[in-house]
Amino acid sequence: MKKLFNGRFSTLYSVLSLYVFLSFIIRIVLMIWSLKDLDFNLLHILRAFFTGFVFDFTIGCLFLSLYIIYVLVLPKRWVGSLFDKCFTYFYLTLIFIIIYFSLLAEIPFWDEFGVRFNFIAVDYLIYTYEVIENINQSYPLPLIGAVLVGLIILTFVSFKKVNVFKKTFSDKSSFRTRFLYAFPVLAIAVFLGFLMKNKIADFSNNSVVNELGKNGAFSFVAAFRSNELDYETFYPKLPEKEAYSIVKKNLLQENQKYTTSKYDDISRFTLGNQEQKPNIILIAIESFSADFLTEFGNKDHITPNYDQLSKESVFFTNLYATGTRTVRGMEALTLSVPPTPGNSIVRRPDNENLFSVSSIVQSKNYHPYFIYGGDGYFDNMNTFFGGQGFDIVDRDRGNPLPDNIKTQRFSITDQEVSFENAWGICDEDLYKQSIKYADKSTKDNKPFFQFVMTTSNHKPYTFPAGKIDLPQGDRNAAVKYTDYALGKFIEAAKTKPWFKNTVFVIVADHCASSAGKWEINIHNHHIPAIIYNLPHQQERIDRLTSQIDLMPTLFGYLGWSYTTSLYGKDINQTKQGDERAFLGNYRTLGMLKGNVFTQIDDRKVVKQFSVSSDRSLSEIKTKNNTDISQTISYYQTASVRFKNGKMKAK
């Protein structure tokens, strides 16, 4: 062992040892960080740490593979030369930047998402403006940069002090000797690089244990390589006709009938009564957990306006978001579809002209708008909404719409902005855009449907000064400002002639946090929703409801007759006992029905859990096969229908 650190390869093995050691320290830090959600099973924890060590060693070898080849093939007469030293120091500087940055970045990522780097981190590489600005506004970048530089300098000084470089640049061993040291590391790197998969770490029901067994850099690469997941390849399936038969049986409401007898056609005609056609403003509030409301036990009184509106509205108290990201909320509210595996449909190619809520409102002669305070290029929003016929209102930072998108785009000018951060303009300014285009549609004598996406309740949690009594930079403060802006918007809307004939659907896109003990944490999908200003008395809906059911339920209140291919249902036309909610997190998919949660994943593993009153889970050994078949049928048909183009509007 001593020979490894006393020759030409001393730098190589020193860096590899340092990386494995630091990764172990980070693993300890993350474990302590999540003690409240950790399953204290000693064997599972030891297995996670061993698996993590193998991942650390693998990625460490891969980091250094180019340097291994360099040390192996460099002629011994060049050892210790200026070229040798320059290349070594340059390569090590790059490696240390990658190592220290990735290890340090894991801590805030874990804090926000409760997992190692995943597809979210990969997505952030695409949208550099928002991400860099968010980091700049959320963290002290000069200090982080200084720490990074300091760590690199300290490492070089330490290596020099223990003569690591002296040994590297003085040992002129033969090619045969170098080969004996280099080949095993290269062989192990290649072998483990192909063998190791993140799925190996997913051996328990505890999400924290599973994530501890992974490596952040390896997880990032794995997410980059598998940014799409094909349902038919990776997930449990039923025979196609059986899957459609189950879905069609469960989709049909008491006021619906199928339009054809084709086994794979889910189009239904919905019979309404006394149809009304008010304007519709759908507000998706960023990261607005049910926990923020007084109704659900919050004692901080940070949502007085939403609390009051809920008492004057149809209030959904038991509604669950399909996912943990904005694009999933958008997908649920517009396409009314379960969260299929991999990327949200909002971010996928060939997602234009899908049957959506927009298809239904446009059939009623509504003018649809998508209103967003940032640049809708982010997360492919403009392409998606434009592809469904929405006119776009956004900040427009110079990213053009694709040529195949024929809708109009209206830019929010600098003169219309009083405050802006990395993600977009403040909610007050955004709501002024909503009023502006509501006025325009009213002037044109055209009913309007607006999808308004807020951003103020997002890190860095900044907003205009002097609006509320809490300091900026804090989640509670951002929630209170978000609620304040909503209250001001409703006040302003009440002064408009179109207010009396306008319905407001106000719902969260997802919860503020997704971290927790289980692969899917049901409590962290619980969101509030209200339908305000209906010509209907105030009502509480305590029945289990999915985010995909919200718009079909609205159409039911409006008495609309229409044809639908949506997976969502009008909760008021759903039989008692048939309520269900769909929850997913990219790889793992589930259905909540009653007090049973059925979960499927990309290893074709099916699990069922009993759900307690506080939404904690305990695995069931005797499975409910009816729920399993229903879960599989929904996700299988939704995935296949998008893949094969059957979600397209006819």
Q: Which residues are annotated as a binding site for substrate?
A: 458
* Residue bearing tokens 């890190």: 459
DSSP label at 444?
Answer: T
Q: What angle do CA 459, 463, 468 make, to 5 degrees?
A: 115
- Whether 598 is a known active-site residue: answer no
**What single string gives the DSSP state of each residue in 358-370?**
HHHHHHTT-EEEE
Two tokens, residue 255: 């006021």
Q: Could you report how far apart the first and last alpha carbons of the chain are, in Å?
A: 69
Q: Using omega within 30 degrees of 0 as the cis cutoff, is the peptide bond preceding 460 cis?
A: yes
Tell me the angle at which helices 141-161 and 10-33 cross, rounded to the nearest 10 degrees.
Answer: 140
Beta carbons of 20 and 60 less than 8 angstroms apart: yes
Binding residues for Mn(2+), as ranges, are 286, 326, 509-510
**C-alpha dihedral sign at 631, 635, 638, 644:** negative
CA distance 236 to 57: 33
Count the Cβ atoms, other than its own, within 10 Å of residue 442: 17
180: burial class by Cβ within 10 Å (0-12, 13-18, 19+)?
Answer: exposed
Shortest CA distance to 212 belongs to which of 57, 59, 46? Answer: 46
Binding residues, as ranges, are 286, 326, 458, 509-510
For residue 550, the one-letter residue type is: L
The active-site residue, picked from 324, 326, 340, 553, is: 326
- The 10 Å CB-count burial string (b at 16+, else e) for 146-172 is eeeeebbeebbeebeeeebbebbbebe
Shortest CA distance to 509 belongs to which of 296, 367, 306, 325? Answer: 325
Torsion angles phi and psi, residue 170, rounded to 5: -115, -20
**C-alpha dihedral sign at 370, 376, 379, 382:** positive
603: burial class by Cβ within 10 Å (0-12, 13-18, 19+)?
Answer: middle
352: burial class by Cβ within 10 Å (0-12, 13-18, 19+)?
Answer: middle
What residues are annotated to the active site? Answer: 326
